[in-house]
Each structure stands twice: as C-alpha cells, then as structure tokens.
C-alpha cells in the first residue's frame, strides 16, 4: 500500500465533491484519552488529519456512496463525537448524531492541481474542533470514482484508516446487491479510553527507564541526533522511498530469522548502526505502539496508538530486539501517569519519531493493488523528524517528514541514504540467498540483463538444449525484458565463489481459483553447469525455490520436464514430486 503525502498524491482529473452530513448534539459526554487531549489542546490547525484513498473500478451512484458512508459512521462511535470547549475553557468530547446530508461540489481552480484542491477541502473540514472532523470526498471520473476518507488524527490512526476503507467497501457491496448497507457496531474508542483509565499505574522501574531516556535528550522526548537548522517550525520536506522489493524483503526477513530476531529488530539494528556512524550516538526515538491489546479492538476505529521511547545502544540484532521489546513494555502503561513529572509529554524541536506498520500481519485486509490504495498524510510546518515504515506484500516502504532547511536536507538526507544502503546491503548479503554445500558457498540472485548470455549457455548445455537453443541473443534479451517487468517471475542466477553463474531456473508465482484459491509455484528451466552436477547444487536450488514460493503464499509447486529426461525425472521424484497430472504441449 503506497505511503504518500497529499502534495505527492496521484489523482486523476475529475469532479471533486464532498458529503456534508447533518450533526445533532446530544447531552452525552465521553472520556478523552491522553493523546486526544494532547492533540486537540493545540487547537484547530490545518494538517492535523490523515486519509486513505481508494480507486473504485466503476462508477457508483452518489446515493449508494452516501448510504454506505453513513453505515460506516453508525458502526464506529468515534465518528459520532465532536470536541468542544466547556464553560471553563477545558476540553469536552460530546456524542452527536450523524444524519443524512447532501453532496457539495468543491472547485478545482484554473491551474490548481487536484491534490491541492483536495488538501484545501480536508484542511478546512478535518480539524480537531470540526463538526464532524471527518470527511468523505469523491473524485468522479468516467472510469470510476476515487474515494478519499479523511479524519482528524484525534479520531483515527493508520490501522483505523484501513478499517474505514474495508467497511466502506463492505457497505457498498451490500448496496450493490440490493441490501441495506448496515454494519454491526464495533466497540467504541470511548470504551477503550475508559478501560485504560482502569489499568494499574506504571511500576517504578518503568518510570525510572522513561526518566533515563528523556534525560539523555535534555528532559525532552528523543531528538534527531543531527542539526536541522533553525529550531522553529519550517515548511516540510517529505521523502517517499521504496526501500526493499518483495525479493529483498524475503531475503532480509530470512537474515532476521537467522539472527533469531524480527524484521523490525533488524531494521532497528540498521538505524542504530547508521546513527552511530553519522552522529556518534545511540539511536533514541519516540516509538509509537498500538494499544489494541486484545481482540476486542481489532475492528474498532480510534487513536489506538500511544507513544513510547526506544533507546538502542548496540547495533547487534539481538540487542536491538531487546530494545524493541523494552520499548513495547514502556508504552504499555497509561502515559498521563508516566509523564506527570514533566507536566505531560515534553516535546522539543528536533523530536525524532519512528513508526512501523506491517500490513501483512494485520487482521484487516483490502485489495490495495486493485484499488490503488494510498495512505495520505497532510502538509504541515514541522521542527522534527517523523519516519514511517510500511511493510506490505509489495515490499518495505518509508516516508520521512523533516524541516526543509539546508541542514535538514543535508543531515536527514544523508541519514536516510545510509539507512537505505545498509538495509539493501543486508538483504543482498542475506543467508536467505546463500546455498551452503559443505565448504562451498553459492549465492542465489535475481538475474540481470547482463547475465543472459551465461544463462543461455546453461540452457544450451545438455542433449536437448544443443539443438533447441540458438546463438542469436536478441530473442533471449527480449524475453528477459518481459520477465523482468513482471514481478511474479523470478529468473534465478546462481553464482559460485568466483562470481560465475553455475545454475539457473525460472520461478513463476501463479494465483488461481482452483483448489480453494491456491497459489502455485511454477518451476521451469532448471539447469546446473556440467562441472557442478551431482554435487547437491540442484537439490539446494529446488529447496530454495520452494521457500521462495512459500514466502509468496504458494501451496503447490509444479514443473514440467521433457519425457526423454529420465535422470531429471528421478531427481524430481527424489524431492517429493509425483506424476499426478498429464501435461500436454503444442506449438503455436
């Protein structure tokens, strides 16, 4: 799922409309969480929101969209609450009733980008004291609408945005089937706030550790260790980087498993290493952790994120895993009590925060590719560094926001460059791509275009290939280009200690509807150099291929081999393959 900023949001041109709901106050007051109070107390301002965009495949009547959105609002209590100032000037959170409204057009001025027009709308309607502080916007085109769901941060987090997208799609599906788009109520965030108030206060060792980490940053929340220039809010610079692709994520995660740690811990190890290298200091950062501590809240919407702190002194992966574990524990207690000695959360310029979200592990799913789904952040003034990591089925992505000053560009840019380089180096040196046979070591890599001649040489080096393959490389290079542009294919180059290509195979992940929607791994073109045959390399390659398929959801491996290759048949049977199907081919 793409992680972007509203200024970078990719939107088609069309008619931009928003749905104005009606709001009726009630006399019911709701509890306010620590983070809500901290956020809303700053007052109304532009850019305090977050959003998600979804592109639907065909036009949807406005009436159906409105009915679906109202069903989502009825499901989630926080969307039916508004912040106000009480008679004493303090904050109150009032429950309201949300009713049917009307669609309002939003002008896109001459020369104005669609994303800028959208930003103006959301900045105006999704502030802490807006009534309500959420907005459904629709960009209508002939090909179908792009839906944008936005809300002030006081009512949502990134997980919640995914829930809202999923629930809106479910309500639209019900409407499309002629059913009333009603959704079962989810536990309200206010109930979670009450539950947190009843939790015990933090033990003394937790308080002491918080004090130690804050003291290292001058009795403030952790700060970015390098200068950002003028210590006042500046226009932001937002960088969005695709750090690791699917293959590199699999290799990186394999390396983490080899160390006995999580993928997150190994990323923290990289950040610790880079911070030591560039700043000569430990990694210290604000570390948001979610408070959905049991299954009750998995489908709820609200600000289920609280802040912790992480201090990572040693880049050793095991030490970093311990630092992550400690950060989660430090964030498991009511923060109002923990931070009371500082009068609340002690923020200061250069505050450094690191957020991690592994979408693959969330119990909430949408078709992010088919819907072109994007998490959208606001444009703000900032004096700190905020780093978001998203790990999904397409790889590891980051978004970083920092002050757009000369020092910010130099120091944060260098830190990000070093981090990305370190993460990619770790992935490419991973044990996940290493085949060890006795004292021999081979490296499995995705083939590059320059590898085509060597791979063709392997394909031609057997009794059938001598007559079937040709000397002209142009056809092979065109085929390579087609393979390289489709991520479901993986053309393997296996290199020996001298960097010579001594093995190859082509792997293709094939989703399908049969076998209850099973995904298959197709294996073709398995070849090993003549001088490396009968030494276990082919077996190791196939075992690696099976792991490659499993990591991508495949439950069945299949291959074809020429009927005349009797030795190959014996080899594959020894690895558990059986002749359960009859494969047929014909020339076209």
Same domain, 445 and 525: yes
209 and 173 in a common domain: no
Picking from 138, 171, 192, the residue at the C-terminal end of a domain is 192
Same domain, 398 and 439: no
Strand-pair partners of 357: 390
**Quick count: other Cβ atoms within 10 Å of Cβ 151?**
28
Q: CATH number of the domain that 563 lies in?
A: 3.40.630.30
Which pair of structure tokens corresponds to residue 129? 């004291």
Residue 317 sits in the same domain as residue 407: yes
pLDDT given at position 294: 87
In a domain, 467, yes or no: yes
Q: Does the residue 376 lie in any domain?
A: no
Domain boundary among 164, 192, 220: 192
User: Is 79 in a helix, a strand, or coil?
Assistant: helix
* Same domain (yes/no): 90, 211: no
584 Cβ partners below 8 Å, 6+ apart? Answer: none
pLDDT value of position 587: 81
Strands (E), 291-382: 305-312, 352-358, 374-377, 381-382
E strands within 293-431? 305-312, 352-358, 374-377, 381-382, 385-392, 395-403
Is 254 part of a structural domain of the chain?
A: yes
Residues 340/209, Cβ–Cβ less than 8 Å: no
Contacts of 278 (CB under 8 A, 6+ apart): 225, 226, 411, 414, 415, 418
pLDDT of residue 176: 85
Instruction: Write the CATH number for 126.
Output: 3.30.559.10
What sign for the dihedral angle of Cα 26, 27, 33, 34?
positive
Same-domain pairing of 184 and 292: no
Q: Cis peptide leading into 132, omega within 30 of 0?
A: yes
> Looking at the structure, do residues 222 and 362 belong to the same domain, yes or no?
yes
DSSP assignment of 428-441, as one string?
A: HT-GGGEEEETTEE
Is the domain of 452 the same as that of 482? Answer: yes
Please identify, among 192, 218, 240, the residue that sits at the C-terminal boundary of a domain: 192
Residue 583 lies in a domain: no
Token pair, residue 329, equals 């524990």
Is 129 contained in some domain?
yes
What total number of domains does the chain contain?
3
164 and 214 share one domain: no
Residues 233, 146 within the same domain: no
Question: Does 268 share its domain with 173?
Answer: no
Handedness of CA 559, 565, 571, 573 (dihedral sign): positive
Give the domain CATH number at 303.
3.30.559.30
Q: Which run of H or of E encompasses 149?
A: strand 146-152
Residue 424: give the domain boundaries.
200-368+381-429
Q: Are residues 7 and 144 in the same domain?
A: yes
User: CA-CA distance, 472 to 186, in Å (whole number)?
Assistant: 63
For residue 63, what pLDDT is reported? 94
Nearest to 434 by CA among 442, 426, 423, 425: 442
CB atoms within 10 A of CB 359: 19
Residue at 516 is within a domain:
yes
pLDDT for the residue 12: 86
Position 584 in a domain: no
Q: Is residue 373 part of a domain?
A: no
- Per-residue confidence of the chain (588 residues) as pLDDT tens digits? 888 899 888 888 999 999 999 999 999 999 999 999 999 999 999 999 999 999 999 999 999 999 999 999 999 999 999 999 999 999 999 999 999 999 999 999 999 999 999 999 999 999 999 999 999 999 999 889 999 999 999 999 999 999 999 999 999 999 888 888 899 999 999 999 999 888 899 999 999 999 999 999 999 999 999 999 999 999 999 999 999 988 889 889 989 999 999 999 999 999 999 999 999 999 999 999 999 988 999 999 999 999 999 999 999 999 999 999 999 999 999 999 999 999 999 999 999 999 999 998 899 989 988 999 999 999 999 999 999 999 998 899 999 999 999 999 999 999 999 999 999 999 988 877 889 999 999 999 999 999 999 999 999 987 776 777 877 899 999 999 999 999 899 999 999 999 999 999 999 999 999 989 999 999 999 999 999 999 999 999 999 999 999 988 899 999 988 887 888 888 888 989 988 877 777 788
């Amino acid at each position: 799922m793409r992680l972007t900023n509203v200024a970078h949001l990719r939107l088609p041109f069309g008619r931009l409309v928003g749905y104005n709901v009606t709001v009726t106050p009630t006399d019911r007051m709701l509890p306010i969480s620590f983070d809500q109070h901290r956020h809303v107390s700053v007052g109304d301002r532009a850019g305090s929101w977050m959003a998600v965009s979804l592109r639907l495949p065909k036009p949807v009547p406005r009436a159906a969209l409105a009915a679906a959105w109202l069903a989502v609002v009825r499901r989630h209590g926080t969307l039916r609450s508004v912040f106000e100032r009480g008679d004493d000037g303090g904050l109150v959170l009032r429950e309201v009733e949300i009713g049917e409204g009307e669609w309002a057009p939003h002008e896109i001025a001459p020369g104005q980008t669609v994303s800028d027009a959208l930003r103006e709308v959301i900045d105006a309607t999704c502030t802490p004291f807006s009534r309500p502080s959420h907005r459904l916007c629709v960009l209508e085109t002939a090909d179908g609408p792009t839906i944008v769901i936005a809300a002030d941060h006081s009512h949502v987090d990134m997980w919640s945005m995914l829930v809202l997208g999923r629930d809106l799609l479910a309500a639209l599906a019900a409407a499309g089937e002629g059913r009333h788009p009603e959704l079962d109520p989810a536990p309200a965030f206010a109930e979670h706030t009450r539950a947190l108030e009843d939790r015990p206060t933090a033990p003394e060792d937790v308080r002491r550790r918080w004090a130690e980490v804050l003291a290292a940053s001058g009795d403030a929340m952790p700060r970015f260790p390098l200068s950002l220039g003028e210590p006042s809010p500046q226009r932001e610079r937002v960088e969005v980087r695709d750090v690791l692709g699917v293959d590199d994520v699999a290799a990186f995660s394999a390396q983490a498993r080899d160390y006995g740690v999580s993928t997150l811990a190994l990323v923290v190890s990289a950040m610790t290493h880079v911070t030591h290298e560039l700043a000569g200091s430990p990694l210290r950062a604000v570390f948001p952790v979610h408070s959905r501590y049991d299954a009750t809240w998995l489908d709820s919407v609200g600000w289920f994120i609280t802040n912790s702190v992480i201090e990572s002194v040693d880049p050793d992966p095991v030490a970093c895993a311990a630092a992550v574990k400690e950060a989660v524990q430090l964030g498991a207690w009511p923060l109002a009590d923990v931070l009371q000695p500082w009068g609340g959360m002690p923020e200061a310029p250069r505050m450094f925060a690191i957020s991690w979200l592994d979408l693959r592990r969330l119990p909430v799913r949408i078709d992010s590719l088919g819907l072109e789904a994007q998490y959208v952040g606001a444009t703000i003034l900032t004096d700190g560094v905020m780093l978001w990591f998203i790990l999904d089925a397409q790889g590891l992505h980051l978004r970083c926001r920092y002050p757009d000053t000369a020092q910010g560009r130099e120091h944060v840019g260098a830190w990000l460059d070093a981090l990305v380089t370190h993460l990619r180096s770790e992935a490419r040196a991973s044990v996940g791509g290493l085949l060890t046979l006795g004292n021999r070591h081979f490296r499995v890599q995705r083939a590059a275009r320059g590898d085509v001649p060597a791979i063709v040489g392997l394909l031609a080096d057997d009794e059938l290939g001598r007559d079937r393959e040709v000397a002209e490389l142009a056809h092979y290079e065109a085929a390579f280009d087609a393979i390289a542009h489709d991520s479901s294919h993986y053309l393997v180059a296996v290199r020996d200690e001298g960097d010579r290509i001594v093995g190859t195979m082509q792997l293709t992940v094939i989703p399908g509807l049969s076998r209850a929607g099973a995904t298959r791994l197709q294996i073709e073109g398995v070849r090993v150099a003549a001088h490396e045959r009968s030494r276990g390399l082919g077996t190791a390659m196939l075992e690696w291929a099976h792991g490659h398929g499993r990591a991508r959801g495949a439950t069945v491996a299949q291959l074809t081999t020429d009927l005349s290759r009797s030795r190959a048949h014996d080899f594959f049977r020894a690895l558990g393959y059986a002749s359960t199907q009859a494969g047929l081919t014909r020339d076209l």
